[in-house]
Amino acid sequence: MSARIPRRLLLRGAGLTVLAGAAAAATTPVRPGKAQSLVVAGRARARGWDDVGVIVWGSPDRGQYGHLVLPQRRAWGRERLPVSVFFHGGGWREASSWDYVLGAARDLARYGVAVWLPAYRGTPSPGGWPGTFADALTGVQAVARLSEHAPFTPDPQRIHLVGHSAGGHLAVWAAGALSGDLGAAAATGDDGPAELLASLAAQSEVSVASATSLAGVLDPVRAVEEDQDQFVVDLLGGTPQEQPERYALASPLEQLPTGFPVHVVHGIDDRTVPVQTVEPYLERLRSQGQAGRIELVRGAQHNDLIQVSDPAWPVTREVCLAAVGAPDGR
């Protein structure tokens, strides 16, 4: 299929993790030599993947397209597959794209998972508030229509969101929104965008089984106040003092606790999204007994978590595949 899709460049990314229940975070040493593991989290590795490529499911001008990667087909017919919806990072910028996480997506697909990488409009234009958030919701909802474009059937009970850096924020936020929780914004005066996003979420035919943040921005307020994150300011059109309602609506922290597991993988040596900026999120995860995992990867920097050649990748891959579960559904 031919479509006029803008070429984008990588700007930014990040990572972190949480343990089931109210578990304490633990540092995770990387284990070299597992890049070609034949079985991960009960899922066997195939020889390769089938790269379906770009699928346009709506208006490209509204970010309604994405890239689909399937497991290498073992037989004719339509397999029923779990789906990982993988949001790319890049500081929520219009110049960013899924290109830099495509290797990670292909490796996940080798273990029997369909990987859908939705596009979204970014800043400075035409994305930002609330367009980028609306695009994240509709990108997840597009999973229900993927069988119209590719030879498989998405398993509606096994839709898992994952994202790196800015994409980690969108994955966790979208999972919460689609589960009926738009955070503290319901009590604020920013009703127009809140109503728009709530309406989009309510129309979804897709339910989310889990969310995984890889070096994600999970507390936008702290990211700005502690790390002077200009990307967040651009996304939300101002500082927390200038746009408190938007920060409340856009914050994964304000969505806790959730009704689904939230997994966080973060590099301890990450200088792009320092681990300190997600500490309030982790503390709330622990104190509220939130289901999920926390993996703080010793020696890992921001992009190491999604580089398949890096020793940190097996940690990320295991967390993502364990969230999906074994082929028999365990």
The residue with tokens 């309604």 is 64
With 0.75 as the threshold, say if the pTM is over it: yes
CATH (one of 3.40.50.1820, 2.60.40.10, 3.40.30.10, 3.40.50.970) for 26-324 = 3.40.50.1820
Q: For 15-55, what is each residue's pLDDT tens digit?
A: 223 333 333 345 555 454 466 789 999 999 998 999 999 99
Say what the pLDDT of residue 203 is.
Answer: 85
Domain ranges of the chain: 26-324
Give bridge partners of residue 159 from the DSSP assignment: 83
Query: 94 pLDDT band (50/70/90 cuts)?
Result: very high
Report which of residues 141 and 36 the model is more confident about.
Answer: 141
Q: What is the arithmetic mean of pLDDT over 227-253? A: 96
Report which of residues 214 and 16 the model is more confident about.
Answer: 214
pLDDT of residue 5 exceeding 50, the answer is: no
Q: For 266-289, what is each residue's pLDDT tens digit?
A: 999 999 999 999 999 999 999 999
Q: For 226-239, what is each residue's pLDDT tens digit?
A: 999 999 999 999 99
Q: Round to whole Å and give the CA distance between 43 and 37.
A: 10
